[in-house]
Structures are given as C-alpha cells and as structure tokens.
Amino acid sequence: MKRIALVGVTMNAIPPMMRALEGKKVKVLHYLDSYILEKNRRIGHMTDDCMRRMVNMVAHACEDGADGVIITCTIFSKYVSYFKEMFSAPIVAADQAMMEKAGKAGGRIALLCTFDGTREISCQLLKLSCELSGKPYEIVPFVLKDAYEEAQKSNLEEHNRIIREKILEIEEDYDQIVLAQMSMADSAAGLKTHRARVLTSPAAAYETVMEEIKKRETLHHS
C-alpha cells in the first residue's frame, strides 16, 4: 500500500481530495499549515517565512516515508519543479495534470478562482500548457471572492452554489471551464453543462502522482 502525503494550506482542499482517493489502496498522510494562506492573503505575495513553512512540511512528509506528495494548494504550484529537485519522493502540483489536459484541447477557456492570489499563478500555468500544445487558445480569468469568503466561514454549501451558478452563467461562451483550486472541485459534482467541459484537479492529481511513483520505482529497479 502506497503512502500518499497531502500537503496544503487549507482544510477546504481535503474533502475533495479524500473523495478522489475513496476505494484506492493508499494510506493518506496529512500535513496542513493554514497560517500560510492567511499570511499570503494579508501581505499579498509569497514570503520567505511562508516558503520555509511549506518546505518544512514537504520535508516532514518525505522523512515520514511518503511514496508520493500532492501539493494541494495552487499558490505553490509554480514552485513544485524546485521541490522535485530537493526531495526524494515524487511531488505533484494539485493542478498539474488538469492544466495539461486543458492545454491540449485549447480553445476559449474560463479560469475560475476564489482566491485572488491564485489567479496569476494559474493563468501562467495554463498559458504554458496551451503554448506547449500549439493549439489556439484564449484564457479569461474570473475571481469569485464571495465564494472564498463563504468558505472562510465554513459555509461550503454557499461556496459551492456561487461557483455552480457562475459555471452555468458563462458556460455557453466557453469551450472549457477550469476550476483552479482543489477546494472548488465539489461544486462541479453532478453538474451538467451544455457546451463547456468542466475540469477539476483531485482525480487527475492522484493519477499523476501514482504514475510518478511507478516511474521512480521502475528507474530504481533498472
């Protein structure tokens, strides 16, 4: 049984990820530091202290025997390539596989976020994936601050409702709708759209980390 570490900065990302892991033969290790998100929001940018705290969590996960690590917070996605060089276990960004999938299809893409600090990072990652695929694309970001505020009050039903309403409001105008944060995934559960396909990250993150673990094991045995 593989040991998968979930490393993040908000409790709201845990339920969607755990649902994606239901029935999987894995042991889940949790590492959470909600102060990082609070400080990042207050200051408006990444700080040395926030980075140190995240690196420490990843280090603890590897020391504790994690076979793979999923970083569940989007604000650290662009740093995952550096983490991969630093640590022994495969490390995957929550949105990595989802962004690659969206990029391969291209077209007109709505990128939905609830936390403003996620917008720029997610836009950069999605743009890179689109450019690598060579498909024509247009990215239009939306920041649903009301949904974030509801999540901070633990009102997840209202958080999900706001996101669902936005999806249904705009979906006729887009080919794809990407929900940037893992904490947004539950809002798309069972939602039917007419035109746009809606992409979420939990299942894709699990599939990617398991693939990376398998590659690592094959390399070590060769």
Task: Calculate the average pLDDT of the chain.
Answer: 92
User: What separation, in Å, do the N-terminal and C-terminal C-alpha atoms of the chain show?
Assistant: 22
Residue 179, φ and ψ in degrees, nearest 5:
-90, 105
Q: What is the model's pLDDT at position 201?
A: 86
| Statement: residue 222 has pLDDT above 70 | no
Would the CA dihedral through 186, 158, 177, 73 be positive or negative? negative
Residues 6+ apart with CB under 8 A from 168: 191, 193
* 2-94+203-221 CATH fold: Rossmann fold (3.40.50)
2-94+203-221 and 96-200 have identical folds:
yes
Question: Domain segments of the chain: what residues?
Answer: 2-94+203-221, 96-200
pTM of the model: 0.80
Reference 217, options 68, 20, 58, 25; nearest CA is 68
Q: What is the pLDDT of residues 197-210, one digit of tens each?
A: 999 988 888 988 99
Give the pLDDT confidence of 154-175 residue by residue, as tens digits.
899 999 999 999 999 999 999 9
Query: Is pLDDT at 50 greater than 90 in this prediction?
Result: yes
Q: pLDDT of 79-125, one tens digit each? A: 999 999 999 999 999 888 899 889 999 999 999 999 888 898 899 99
Per-residue model confidence (pLDDT) at position 177: 97
- Give me the CATH topology for the region 96-200: Rossmann fold (3.40.50)
For residues 43-47, average pLDDT: 88
Of the ranges 54-58, 92-96, 146-150, 171-175, which one carries the lowest mean pLDDT score? 92-96
